[in-house]
């Protein structure tokens, strides 16, 4: 029984190499082409077409924020940092400002590009998955906060259980889930509060 491989096929992908004209670029283009990628070298900035690229390699030594057609940290594809000088400020810029997913040390030799592509893609996907989980958790926390506010508004002088029972009853009547019913209740409560404030301001 053969073991199923988890290494993705990179053939047909597109990689941009953002680096000044240099033998390193030529070496990388040859390696990328041998792997099956379409390689595009450019300098001093990425063209708009790079937004649809599968990978971007960028020079850390002479790089700057305005080279990228996206905000720092919002790259829509895996990034590989090309590092020549290991100056702490430059590495910090690549890692924390732009979230490099992998790196290659310059001068680039005859190997290393393929592994950097795989590592970059894996780290990029894991980061996306983590961000999605955080968004989901934040949405759940916000929903719970809304439910608590709705129950408090419905409970008034009664207890929490009666307020929650009223909320469930409203959800059934409106044919929505409890969270949606809570959002409606809070919106109505906020609207009444706003009307009351306006009346007091006009008084």
Give pLDDT tens digits for 24-42.
999 999 999 999 999 999 9
Where does the pLDDT of residue 200 fall: very low under 50, low under 70, confident under 90, or very high at 90 and above?
A: very low
Provide mean pLDDT across the span 104-108: 92
| Predicted structure pTM score | 0.72
pLDDT for residue 40? 96
Q: Which domains does the chain have, with CATH numbers?
A: 14-111 (3.40.50.2300), 136-202 (1.10.10)
In this structure, of 87-91, 180-184, 190-194, the range with the lowest mean pLDDT score is 190-194
Query: Whole-angstrom Cα distance, residue 7 to residue 36?
Result: 15
Q: Could you identify the residue written with the tokens 């990228």?
A: 68
- Cβ atoms of 80 and 103 closer than 8 Å: yes
Tell me how many degrees the CA angle 40-49-85 measures, rounded to the nearest 5: 50
Q: Regarding predicted confidence, which is higher, 189 or 195?
A: 189
Q: Which residue has the higher pLDDT, 181 or 16?
A: 16
Nearest to 18, CA basis, from 34, 36, 31, 53 = 53
Token output for 151: 């129950």
pLDDT of 52 over the 50 cut = yes
C-beta neighbour count of 63 within 10 angstroms:
20
Average pLDDT, the chain: 87
pLDDT value of residue 3: 53
How much is the average pLDDT of 52-69?
Answer: 96
Check pLDDT > 70 for residue 2.
no
Q: Residue 191: pLDDT band by 50, 70, 90 thresholds?
A: confident
DSSP 98-163: T--SEEEESSP-SSSHHHHHHHHHHHHHHHHHHHHHHHHHHHHHHHHHHHHHHHHHHHTTS-HHHH
pLDDT at 93 over 90: yes
- Answer yes or no: is pLDDT of 120 > 90: yes
What's the average model confidence in pLDDT over 165-179? 90
């Amino acid at each position: 029984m053969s073991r199923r491989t988890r290494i993705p096929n990179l053939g047909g992908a597109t990689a941009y190499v953002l680096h000044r004209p240099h033998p390193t670029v030529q070496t990388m283009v040859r390696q990328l082409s041998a792997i099956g990628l379409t390689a595009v070298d450019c300098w001093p900035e990425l063209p708009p077409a790079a937004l649809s690229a599968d990978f971007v390699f960028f020079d850390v030594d002479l790089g700057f924020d305005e080279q990228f057609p996206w905000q720092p940290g919002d790259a829509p594809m895996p990034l590989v940092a090309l590092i020549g000088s290991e100056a702490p400020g430059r590495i910090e810029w690549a890692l924390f400002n732009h979230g490099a997913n992998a790196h290659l040390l310059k001068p680039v030799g005859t190997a290393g590009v393929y592994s950097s592509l795989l590592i970059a893609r894996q780290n990029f996907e894991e980061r996306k998955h983590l961000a999605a989980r955080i968004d989901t958790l934040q949405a759940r926390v916000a929903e719970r906060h809304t439910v608590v506010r709705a129950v408090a508004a419905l409970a008034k002088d009664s207890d929490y259980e009666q307020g929650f029972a009223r909320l469930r009853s409203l959800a059934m009547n409106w044919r929505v889930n409890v969270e949606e019913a809570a959002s409606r209740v809070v919106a109505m409560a906020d609207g009444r509060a706003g009307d009351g404030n306006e009346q007091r301001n006009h008084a």
